[in-house]
Structure 1
Amino acid sequence: MFSGYYKLIKPRVMYGNLITTIAGFLFAADGHIDLGLFLATAIGTGLVISSACVINNYLDQDIDAKMERTKSRPLITGEVSQTGAVVYGATLGILGLAMLIAWTNRWVVGVGIFGFVTYVWLYGALGKRKSVHGTLVGSLSGAAPILAGYVAVQPGLDAAAVILFLIIFFWQMPEFYSISIYRKVEYAKAGIPVSSVVRGVDATKRQIFVYTVLTVASMMGLAATPLASLSYLVVVLVFGAYWLQLTAEGLVTENNDVWAHRNFHFALWVLVIFCLIISLNPFVP
């Protein structure tokens, strides 16, 4: 039973978002880490993200039952009961929000609530079911964790906070659009109006290129802020140049599924390297 409840939090989604939270915090801290604030931000945000994922699982059962990659989720197989999932999700959310209220600041609380509502309702319950623009809505919630980490240390929306948000917002588009290409048949079967289904693969590849340009440009923009190091700029130039080349290849390739897999996996590496370099930023030249 424990494994079923663990799966409900969508561990890969939760940990991926938590990594960006931690990276945002460490970047803002600039080497001066308040351990108590760090733990409260990380654990509280992690609980809120987990809650959102559980509730999303509950709301998405009709879709999950139709898709190969999701039809074995705990609520579909009956491993976890409907009531158990709702209580579990609510408990995680209440505990996480309570931690953020008690030990962080109103900016973190506000960003946490924004991310939760956007992911569960605006994206999960409405956007992705009804519009090709659902991915854009979902990307707003996906960009919230890195902002929460940053404003925990630097309350308010300065240039770095806005740019960090934009980086993760833009990054999610080529990442998810790549998935939508090689899983196009599954999304069509489930009736989800993703870009590859509604606009076609060629149009989606053009969108991927545009959003990759915006992601790399935003990463370059962060290099102009006071906290960014020269090492950060070098890493962004190297990885950004290769990613742009890879997405440009996608515009002319005919082997769309293979290319989309490559682009998806490289996008993940870009995120990992980005989070690592901004976390280590105070300690490198």
Structure 2
Amino acid sequence: MERAILGLDIGGTGIKGGVLIKGHLEDIRSIPTPADQDKEHILETIALFIESYLDYDISGIGIGIPGLVDVNEGIVLGLANIPAFQHVELRKFITERFSKPVFINNDANCFALGVYKFGVGKQFKNLVGITLGTGVGGGIVINGHLYSGVTSAAGEWCSAPYLDENYEYYCSGKFFHNLYHQRPKTLAKKAAAGDPIALKAFEEYGYHLGELIKTILFALAPEAIVLGGSIRKSYPFFKDALYKNLTTFPYPTVLDKLQILLSELDETGIHGAVALVEVEPETVNS
């Protein structure tokens, strides 16, 4: 039986899993998240999902979650859109149930680690991953190691004040919902057809994302920024506005060495979760 690493991507609506065998992600599965149930029911759902993979010789389990985590203790401090999942000793529960090493981190951190280990970020030692979707998430890789910070909160630029709201309001799907009252995917189709309002929406979005990236450059000056999430697929519509804004960054030598790339991985969350098992012992956490 082949040795495998199991990765879980736990979200507010679904739980996805897959196994890494000889460097390849296989057997992708998903189930609905029982987000309206109590903690015990959710834990049992996760356990049964893990059990469905025990035909493989699982050497370790990595888990990404959309919330804050005490990485050292494996405690989920809070999970977005799942009210009952607060201060849950998830590592202890799974370890006692399956006698496997378990590693847990924030899903945006997993994204950054996933693109570094398996995607377009492999060629860089220092990168930032940004997920652009319903919200905005950020993950940081420094000198080849994931930097999680205290309670995995490093890279949470989403909540940083920006204009009259925060960066998430202007750099996620919320921007299109709140200011244009349409889904990003709908506006992308209209932009592709040349609709001037849709094109204007993405031009404004590109400007705001440029402001976020400049903030990141001031703090970290990474070699690369990798964009993930569903909105990245609309990159051709906001790329020019993004780069136009970046020309105002005061340190051109930083810009000269920066690459902005799109993640090509379809299952980045699972890739990042399995990567936790391989590199977590060396992860910088504070």
User: Structure 2 length normalisation: TM-score?
Assistant: 0.31
Between Structure 1 and Structure 2, the one with more strand by share is 2
Give the TM-score normalised by the residue count of structure 1.
Answer: 0.31
